[in-house]
Structure 1
Amino acid sequence: MSDFWVSSGHHLLDRNEEGYLVLTDEFLKAYLARPELIPPPEACDAERRLYRRLSKTPRDRVGDDDILAIRDSDAQENWRALIGFRDHLLAHPTLESAYLSLMRKGTGNTPPLFIQQLVHVIMRNVLDDVDDPFALRAGELFYRPQRLTQHEGRVLLADEELVDGAESGMHASPLIAMLGEAAARNLDVLVEDNAAGYFARSDAFDMVLDFRHGGPGRTAFAGVMERWLRHMLGLGSQITPLERIEDDNWTWFIGLDAEATRIGNALWEGEGPAVPGIDRVVALFRLDLEAMAQARAPIYLIMAMTPQRIVRMKPQNLLVGLPDDVMAPAAGAS
């Protein structure tokens, strides 16, 4: 099977017998290679000593005195963020359990980028035995915001960072021009004819997902959500894409992003079709959990985009937004 998402750092981690990710020194050292942590030429001796020490033994205890000894205040902030995140990972048996703890108890001062990277490598583990490029591309939604456009009946999702951060001086492909941005490289819509090429370019995040109802992208995304629930909570489920919710007595929903949560709450409170932004709903799904009683009503999942047409999924909502009576073990629990 071809490798994918090498940039997640999954090859630097170990797995326990249950298949969950176990922290290694090599993975911790990769964080020290971040540009904001490499001491610049003008760095003080205290910062250089700390960097050398952790480069050799990345689990060494770092106290407040070590950080306060660093002269530059910005460098102090960067080190506090890294050490706080490192200590959180070290306090848990697996990366999955560390992530669940952050989502259930609060992220505190953990930088959003670190959480995004954590989801990246966990999702790489979730999809480790998957060879369907549509499922892998759908998995990118869990940790990379997408820009949405509609064209010839298709709902197209392209990587927001790639589109918005592209170099304006480069020639734009017709697809990028349609998305309204210039880009440094071409984007291709993922189809059966080019799907085999996904693996070689998976870390470029430069393939566009056709997310229309009934298409392979949306169906694959439903399957990825099923895998996420099983891996993280041990819950079996069936998730079905819907064109509309035809249930006057729906009792539970989960917004897959902040905008969807706002819209769902407004509908729940009875505002009806006049809810502001309801036209920005991108997709609907029905979630049926194996752990739920037969008589239990289904859970509906809502995905929406911002006024700027950005889909910014919050994968933790699937884990913490379930009904209280759905019992699930903690992932990676020792």
Structure 2
Amino acid sequence: MDPTLLWPACAPAHLTADDTGRTRPAAGWWQALLWRPELAPIDQSCHAERRLHAALLDDPLQPVDATRLARLRDADARESYGHFLAFRDAVQRAGTLEGWLLGLFRSGRIAVPPVFIDLVVQSVTWRLLADDQDAIHWRAAELLFRPQRVTRHEGRVLLGDRDTLDLGRDTQGFGDLGRLLAEAQAPLKRLEMTVLAPEQGAAYFARAAQPAQGTNFLLDLTHTLDRDLGHGLHFTLVHRHSGLGALAVVLTRWVQQLLGVKVTIEPLQRVDDPHWRWHLGLDAESTALLNDLYEGREVETTRQERLISLFRLRFADPAEMRADLAGAPVWMGLMADAQGVVKLKPQNLLLNLPLARDA
């Protein structure tokens, strides 16, 4: 498995590391962005837009003043290039993708198109996994930058890539051709989704190397397996290839890469802590739920059922935590919204951990 071929949308072959291990985009990374549909010229593009695109391909870090940008005839093109240039310049000032992410989220002013944020998160996550041969880790890592749909099947909790599932539902997996055939009521083969298992690692990596983002592999979040042997004998096993366990591994690396602190993260099914001190949600829904539970407010059963998992985070060095919380666990949650969509927000781990240096 050649990691530079995986997730080509984030141009991994053009990512380098600085002396601290943080991620720097090379010129080729910016050139790859210029071919995204938001920036690549189309048939209707004016000469000024084509000249600007060609010039940036030749030297993606060259300055572009407002006068030059104003020559672009199309207002949407001017806006897209304006966002791109502001993003490029901010990353260059920050020095690394991690530095840009931290500065952006800590500023409290998110005026950047989500596509750029997701791209940077994907690029940093790629570097966390570049030496990892476990396909389930890679599939779990997609939660950091791609929404997922959750379904429960025969006692298992499964996540599928939202956009892939929606495309398959609308076009049965055949894109624009599928839409035309669907309108003509022509029969089509349904999109096949497969639950990812270790023996399918090569197939997942082959899919992850394709230009189109998304995957037809489902992530199994079942973390524990209950076994009843009869005669009063019952035991619980931890699923060795649990998607939740894989997600915990990825989030652990994310915290260390972005914040420089070592933590352990463990999936759990309940908060068993009479001295519950600190919590954070990995998404907006679980944040609200944990706040309500912490405050002792009643929570509807249907809402509780959307909770996918809890996690317990512990700092390897309690001295890295705020003094009044040193040694206490941080409880976290992951939850689907009312439409069954999971939108993990990795920035919550950057902003809401009780770090000593933020006190």
TM-score (norm 2): 0.82
1:242 and 2:268 matched: yes
Does 117-126 or 43-52 show the bigger shift? 43-52
Alpha carbons of 1:136 and 1:36: their partners in 2 closer, same or farther (altered >3 Å)?
A: closer
Alignment partners' CA distance in 2, 1:18 and 1:106: 26
Deviations 1:8-33 (A, max 9, x none): 21101222233222121111111111
Q: 1:167 deviation in Å?
A: 5.8
CA displacement at 1:91 relative to structure 2: 0.9
Matched, 1:302 2:333: yes
Mapped partners of 1:295, 1:93: distance in 2: 32
Structure-2 residue corresponding to 1:185: 191
1:50 and 2:52 matched: yes
Partner residue of 1:160 out of 146, 159, 162: 162
Q: Distance in 2 between matches of 1:74 and 1:171?
A: 30
Q: Which runs of 4+ in 1 moved over 3 A?
A: 167-172, 182-185, 272-276
- Closer/same/farther in 2, CA of residues 79 and 171 from structure 1, 3 Å limit: closer
The alpha-carbon distance between structure 1 residues 326 and 223, as it changes in their structure 2 partners (threshold 3 A), is farther
Alignment deviations for residues 199-256 of structure 1 (CA, whole Å, 9 cap, x no partner): 2122452211100232321111111111111111111111111111112321111100
Between the two proteins, the alignment pairs up a number of residues equal to 319
Match of 1:179 in 2: none
- Secondary structure of the 2:245 match is helix
**Match in the other structure for 2:69:** 67
- Could you tell me which of 216, 222, 240 is aligned with 1:212? 222
Give the Cα separation in 2 of the matches to 1:286 and 1:52: 50
In 1, Cα distance between equivalents of 2:144 and 2:38: 25
Structure 1 residues 167 and 210: CA distance shift in structure 2, 3 A: closer
Is residue 312 of structure 1 aligned with residue 312 of structure 2? no
2:227 maps to what in 1? none
* AA at the equivalent of 1:207: F
Farther-moved stretch of structure 1 (116-125 vs 103-112): 103-112
Task: Measure, in 1, the Cα distance between the counterparts of 2:171 and 2:74.
Answer: 36
Q: Note if contact 1:166-1:183 (Cα within 8 Å) is conserved in structure 2.
A: no
The one-letter code matched in structure 2 to 1:211 is L
> Is the Cα–Cα contact under 8 Å of residues 292 and 299 in structure 2 kept in the other structure?
no
Are the counterparts in 2 of residues 209 and 217 from structure 1 also a CA contact under 8 Å?
Answer: yes
CA distance in 1, matches of 2:114, 2:172: 30
Deviations 1:265-312 (A, max 9, x none): 222332044487222111100000123259532100111100000010
Between the aligned partners of 1:223 and 1:319, the Cα distance in structure 2 is: 16
Question: Aligned partners of 2:253 and 2:164: how far apart in 1?
Answer: 27
Q: Aligned runs of 1:22-171 on 2, under 5 Å?
A: 22-166=24-168, 168-170=170-172
Secondary structure at 1:14's aligned position in 2? strand
- 1:48 aligned counterpart, secondary structure: helix
Which sections of structure 1, spanning at least 5 residues, go unmatched? 173-181, 329-334
Q: Which has the larger radius of gyration?
A: 2
Contact 1:2 1:199 in 2 (8 A): no
Q: Of 307, 325, 331, which aligns to 2:356?
A: 325
Higher relative contact order at CA 8 Å, sep ≥6: structure 1 or structure 2? Answer: 1
Shift of 1:42: 3.2
Contact 2:150–2:340 (Cα < 8 Å) also in 1: yes
Deviation string for 1:88-129 (max 9, x for gaps)? Answer: 111122111111111111353211011011111110001111
CA distance in 1, matches of 2:40, 2:8: 22
Corresponding residue SS for 1:22: strand
Query: Which of 287, 294, 301 is the equivalent residue of 1:268?
Result: 294
| Counterpart Cα distance in 1 of 2:109 and 2:215 | 27
Displacement after TM superposition at 1:81 (Å): 1.1
